[in-house]
C-alpha cells in the first residue's frame, strides 16, 4: 500500500470520527438555533390581552406549589422516579412506605386557597376546582394522616403492623382522591392562563 493511500484512508477515518462526534452536538444545538426570535406584539394585541389579575396570580402560585405533590406517572418500561416507585410498593401493601408529604395540604395550603378564592378577578373554573380540592382535602386528609402518624410513632413493632394494614386501604383511597382533585385543579389553572 502506498503512503498516499494510507493517508487518504486515515483522512476518511478521521473525518468519520469527527462527524460521529459533531452529529450529536449539532442535533442538540439545532433546536436552539431554529427557535423563532421573540417578536413584539402590536399595541392592539397588547391591549386585547388582559394583564394577569390578582386571582389568576394567586391560583398560579398555589398550583405551582401543589405540582410538587403530584407524581408523574410513566408508561410501562419507562424509568420512573423514586417517589413513583415507593408509591407503587405502598399500593402493593408496604404501608410503611406511605407518602409523608401531607404538609402540602396544611395551614399554608388553606391560607393560600382562601387568598386565591377571595382575590379580585374572575377565574370560575379554577375557583370551582379549588373548592373541590379543598373539600376533598378536608374529607380525606385525616385518613392519610392517620397512617402517616402511625408509621411515625413506631407502634408497628408493638402490633406487628396490624393497624397499618387496617389503615392502608383508607390511606390509598385518600391519596388517590386528593391526587385526582389536585390534577384537576392544576389543569384548570393552566387552562385559565
At residue 133, φ and ψ (nearest 5 deg) are: -60, -45
The predicted structure's pLDDT at residue 3: 53
- The pLDDT confidence band at residue 4, using thresholds 50, 70 and 90, is low
* Predicted local distance difference test score (pLDDT) of residue 72: 72
At 17 the pLDDT is: 53
Assess whether 120 and 168 both reside in one domain.
Answer: yes
DSSP 73: P
Enumerate helices (H) and strands (E) in the chain, giving the number of each.
8, 0
Residues 106 and 181 in one domain: yes
Q: Do 133 and 74 sit in the same domain of this protein?
A: yes
pLDDT at site 48: 42
* pLDDT value for 70: 84
Domain-embedded: residue 16:
yes
- Tens digits of residue pLDDT in 86-125: 777 666 777 777 778 888 999 999 999 999 999 988 899 9
Query: Tens digits of per-residue pLDDT, 141-165?
Result: 999 999 999 989 988 888 988 999 9
Q: What is the pLDDT of residue 69?
A: 85
pLDDT at residue number 75 = 64
Domain extent at residue 27: 1-36
Residue whose grid cell is 407503587: 88
Is residue 57 situated within a structural domain?
A: yes
Report if residue 14 sits inside a domain. yes
Q: How far apart are CA 126 and CA 151, in angstroms?
A: 35
Residue 169 has a CB neighbour count (10 Å cut-off) of: 11
DSSP 76: T
pLDDT reported for residue 138? 97
69 and 150 share one domain: yes
Residue predicted with more confidence, 44 or 98: 98
Report helix, strand or coil for 78.
coil
**Mean pLDDT throughout 77-88?**
69
Helix (H, G, I), strand (E, B) or coil at 121: coil
> Which residues in 61-91 are b (16+ Cβ under 10 Å) and which e?
ebbeebeebebeeeeeeeeeeeeeeebeebe
Question: Is-contact 163 146, C-beta < 8 A?
Answer: no
Judge whether 46 lies within some domain: no
Q: Evaluate whether residue 42 is within a structural domain.
A: no
Which of 22-36, 81-95, 171-185 shows the highest mean pLDDT? 171-185
Are residues 168 and 123 part of one domain? yes
Inside any domain, residue 64: yes
What pTM was computed for the model? 0.67
**Number of folded domains that form the chain:** 2
> Is 186 domain-assigned?
yes
Amino acid at each position: 500500500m502506498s503512503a498516499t493511500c494510507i493517508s487518504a484512508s486515515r483522512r476518511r477515518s478521521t473525518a468519520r470520527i469527527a462527524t460521529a462526534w459533531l452529529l450529536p452536538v449539532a442535533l442538540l444545538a439545532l433546536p436552539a438555533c431554529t427557535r423563532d426570535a421573540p417578536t413584539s406584539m402590536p399595541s392592539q394585541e397588547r391591549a386585547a390581552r388582559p394583564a394577569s389579575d390578582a386571582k389568576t396570580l394567586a391560583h398560579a402560585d398555589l398550583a405551582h406549589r401543589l405540582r410538587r405533590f403530584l407524581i408523574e406517572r410513566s408508561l410501562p418500561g419507562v424509568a420512573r422516579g423514586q417517589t413513583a416507585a415507593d408509591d407503587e410498593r405502598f399500593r402493593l401493601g408496604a404501608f410503611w412506605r406511605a407518602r409523608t408529604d401531607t404538609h402540602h395540604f396544611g395551614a399554608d395550603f388553606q391560607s393560600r386557597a382562601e387568598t386565591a378564592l377571595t382575590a379580585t378577578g374572575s377565574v370560575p373554573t379554577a375557583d370551582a376546582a379549588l373548592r373541590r380540592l379543598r373539600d376533598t382535602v378536608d374529607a380525606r386528609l385525616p385518613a392519610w394522616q392517620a397512617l402517616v402518624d402511625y408509621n411515625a410513632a413506631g407502634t408497628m413493632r408493638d402490633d406487628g403492623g396490624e393497624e397499618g394494614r387496617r389503615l392502608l386501604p383508607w390511606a390509598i383511597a385518600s391519596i388517590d382522591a386528593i391526587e385526582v382533585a389536585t390534577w384537576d385543579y392544576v389543569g384548570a389553572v393552566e387552562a385559565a392562563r
